[in-house]
């Protein structure tokens, strides 16, 4: 009798050990995946068993019951998270379960470009197939309210950067992400600003930075451009910047700024109105924001495109010098047109 019990016990232990070793072998063996991996959508409410069966039917996962049993043993069978997952080649069933439980979903990206307007940003959001639209034709004021921005207008409040997000993220969620980043950058810059600036608030620094952003594409010139604008504000000169006029024209601007348009008065025409425009005119990057609060301290009051045609500018202190620089630039245009 005792011998029979020992035999049964040995058989049972052997069965348990064999099952354990088999299970470990299954859990640690790489699944059958393409070399570039596999993207899998896990809808909300899908069970691990249903997912395992689907992967088995696609010839990716062998023995889905082993995965489910292992997950139940760990208490994770009901803990997988919905989303879009990128399963890399070489992933084991054990690794897959960990990825699903931790919710390590596939991330997509959207780059907000320095110098874009908010309209450009909204257009890019609508083009992305990974972003869920919720805003539908809202104007600038409505967008500011929806995104809970500090001002009445949305322009300028979103930081240019590359943002990564899971599929299904809403346009509003991404806008809030970009705004929070802008708020941090702007607050830090304002806290460390140079003394004696004719700027009353971080928002005025943001407006100035947005003009700097549109006036030059060269980081080394941004403090110089900001310096010119700051000195003009201090002395009461009009800013006289073309990008503000263009922004104020809106859809009426077709690519060539005419003398008549320069004279058309809008709240953004810095040829007809003194001081800063009422809102930013673009989404400025960090270099422009820092330049706005740390402008150069030279005596230049003017700048014009350089005849070198490399995107650089010539900065001058007097109107006479400026007019001479303008003549040289126009002469270079005529030479290049021949």
DSSP string, 275-337: S--SS-SS---HHHHHHHHS---S---EEEE-TT-SS-EEEESSHHHHHHHHHHHHHHHHHHH
pLDDT at 99: 94
Token pair recorded at residue 86? 């990128």
Sign of the alpha-carbon torsion through 173, 183, 159, 273 = positive
Q: Is residue 30 part of a domain?
A: no
pLDDT at 19: 52
Could you give the angle at which helices 202-215 and 242-249 cross, rounded to 10 degrees?
100
Residues 216 and 171 in one domain: no
Residues 60 and 113 in one domain: no
pLDDT at 20: 53
pLDDT at 1: 59
| Cα→Cα distances 176→111, 199, 237, Å | 15, 26, 36
CB-neighbour burial class of residue 270 (10 A; exposed 0-12, middle 13-18, buried 19+): buried
Q: Which residue has the higher pLDDT, 45 or 193?
A: 193
Residues 180 and 285 in one domain: no
Residue 233 is part of which domain span? 195-337
Q: Is residue 15 part of a domain?
A: no
| pTM, two decimal places | 0.86
Q: Is the pLDDT of residue 174 over 70?
A: yes
pLDDT at 140: 82
Average pLDDT of span 130-139: 86
Q: Is residue 18 part of a domain?
A: no
Cα(143)–Cα(153) distance, integer angstroms? 8
CATH of the domain at 55: 3.30.1490.480
Residues 160 and 118 in one domain: yes
Residues 61 and 177 in one domain: no
Band of pLDDT at residue 148, cut at 50, 70 and 90: confident
Q: How far, rounded to the nearest angstrom, does the alpha carbon of residue 111 sit from its chain's CA centroid?
A: 5
Chosen domain end from 105, 124, 141: 105
Strands 302-305 and 169-170, bridge-based pairing: unpaired
- Contact yes or no for 313/234 (Cβ under 8 A): no
Q: Is residue 31 part of a domain?
A: no
Chosen domain end from 87, 105, 123: 105
Residues 232 and 279 in one domain: yes
- Least Cα distance to 156 among 200, 120, 189, 198 occurs for 120
First-last CA distance in the chain: 112
Q: Is residue 3 part of a domain?
A: no
Q: Is residue 330 part of a domain?
A: yes
Alpha helices in 167-241 (DSSP H): 171-191, 202-215, 222-235
Residues 127 and 100 in one domain: no
Residue-wise pLDDT for 71-95, tens only, equals 998 898 899 999 999 999 999 999 9
Q: Is the pLDDT of residue 139 over 90?
A: no
Residues 176 and 135 in one domain: yes
Band of pLDDT at residue 227, cut at 50, 70 and 90: very high
The total number of structural domains in the chain stands at: 3
Q: Is residue 12 part of a domain?
A: no
Angle, CA 207 vertex, CA 201 and CA 208 arms, to 5°: 95
Residues 73 and 116 in one domain: no
Residues 206 and 313 in one domain: yes
- Contact yes or no for 285/185 (Cβ under 8 A): no
pLDDT at 17: 46
Cα(216)–Cα(207) distance, integer angstroms? 15
Residues 229 and 292 in one domain: yes
| Cα→Cα distances 27→47, 56, 63, 104, Å | 18, 14, 9, 19
Q: Worst-scoring range by mean pLDDT, 113-117, 162-166, 306-310? A: 306-310
3-state secondary structure at position 177? helix
pLDDT at 310: 87
Q: Which residues, other chains included, contact 335 with Cβ-Cβ below 8 Å and sequence gap of 6+?
A: none
3-state secondary structure at position 265? coil
Residue whose structure tokens are 């630039």: 329
Q: Is residue 305 part of a domain?
A: yes
Residues 167 and 219 in one domain: no
Residue whose structure tokens are 């899908």: 46
Chosen domain end from 105, 127, 142: 105
- Tell me the β-bridge partners of 290: none
3-state secondary structure at position 195? coil
pLDDT at 259: 86
Cα(107)–Cα(168) distance, integer angstroms? 10
Band of pLDDT at residue 12, cut at 50, 70 and 90: low
């Amino acid at each position: 009798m005792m011998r029979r019990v020992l035999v049964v016990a040995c058989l049972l232990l052997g069965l348990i050990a064999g099952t354990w070793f088999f299970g470990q072998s299954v859990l640690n063996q790489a699944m059958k995946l393409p070399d570039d991996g596999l993207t899998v959508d896990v809808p909300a409410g899908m069970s691990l068993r249903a997912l395992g069966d689907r992967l088995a039917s696609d010839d990716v996962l062998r023995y889905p019951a082993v995965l489910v049993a292992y997950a139940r043993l760990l208490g994770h069978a009901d803990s997988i998270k919905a989303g879009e997952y990128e399963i890399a080649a070489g992933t084991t069933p054990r690794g897959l379960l960990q990825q699903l439980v931790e919710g390590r979903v596939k991330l997509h990206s959207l780059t907000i470009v320095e110098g874009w307007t908010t309209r450009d940003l909204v257009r890019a959001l609508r083009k992305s197939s990974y972003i869920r639209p919720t805003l539908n034709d809202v104007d600038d004021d409505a967008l500011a309210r929806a995104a809970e921005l500090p001002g009445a207008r949305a322009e300028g409040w979103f930081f240019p950067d590359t943002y990564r997000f899971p599929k299904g993220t809403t346009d509003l969620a991404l806008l809030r992400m970009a705004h929070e980043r802008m708020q941090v950058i702007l607050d830090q810059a304002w806290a460390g600003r140079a003394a004696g600036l004719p700027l009353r608030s971080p928002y005025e620094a943001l407006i100035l930075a947005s003009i700097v952003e549109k006036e030059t594409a060269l980081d080394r010139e941004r403090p110089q451009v900001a310096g010119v604008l700051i000195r003009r504000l201090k002395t009461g000169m009009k800013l006289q910047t073309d990008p503000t006029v263009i922004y104020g024209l809106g859809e009426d601007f077709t690519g060539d700024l005419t003398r008549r348009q320069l004279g058309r008065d809008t709240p953004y025409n810095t040829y007809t109105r003194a001081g800063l425009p009422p809102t930013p005119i673009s989404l400025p990057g960090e270099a422009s924001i820092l330049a706005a609060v740390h402008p150069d301290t030279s005596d230049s009051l003017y700048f014009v495109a350089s005849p070198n045609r490399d995107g650089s500018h010539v900065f001058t202190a007097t109107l006479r010098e400026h007019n001479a620089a303008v003549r040289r630039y126009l002469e270079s245009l005529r030479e290049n047109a021949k």
